[in-house]
Amino acid sequence: MLGKEFEGVTLPYGGVLIEHRRHGHFPCLLDRAKTMKIPLHAVVKRANKSDMAGRLVKKGFIEMPNFPRRPDEDVFIWIPQ
């Protein structure tokens, strides 16, 4: 990352139909994205009711409170090691 610019892949918002939830689709998507070995960027609305922020942290993402964002969102970054 240079300054406040992000050099990696931004994961767009995605949703899963209720009948397809709890089948591991989201963790699988994150694991596949991580195989690229480049930083990943995700934005979560604070109104999110599925604990997306907690799920990202569990998968190794770090909250970036000073990263540019909208007032109702939080930014999370995963950096490969």
pLDDT at 25: 83
Total domains, the chain: 1
Smallest Cα–Cα separation from 44: which of 63, 27, 66? 63
pTM over 0.95: no
Question: Which pLDDT band holds residue 22 (cuts at 50, 70, 90)?
Answer: confident
Q: Confidence class of residue 4 from pLDDT cuts 50, 70 and 90?
A: low
Q: What is the mean pLDDT of residues 6-13?
A: 81
Distance from C-alpha of 45 to C-alpha of 13, rounded to nearest angstrom: 10
Give the residue from 81, 45, 44 showing the smallest Cα distance to 60.
Answer: 81
CATH number (domain holding residue 44): 3.40.630.30
Q: Which pLDDT value is given to residue 7?
A: 79
Residue 3 located in a structural domain = no
Determine the Cα–Cα distance for residues 39 and 7; give it in Å rounded to an integer: 7
43-71: per-residue pLDDT in tens?
Answer: 999 998 888 999 999 999 999 998 888 99
> Is residue 65 assigned to a domain?
yes
The boundaries of the domain holding residue 45 are: 9-78
Q: Does the residue 4 lie in any domain?
A: no
21: in domain: yes
Domain contains 56 = yes
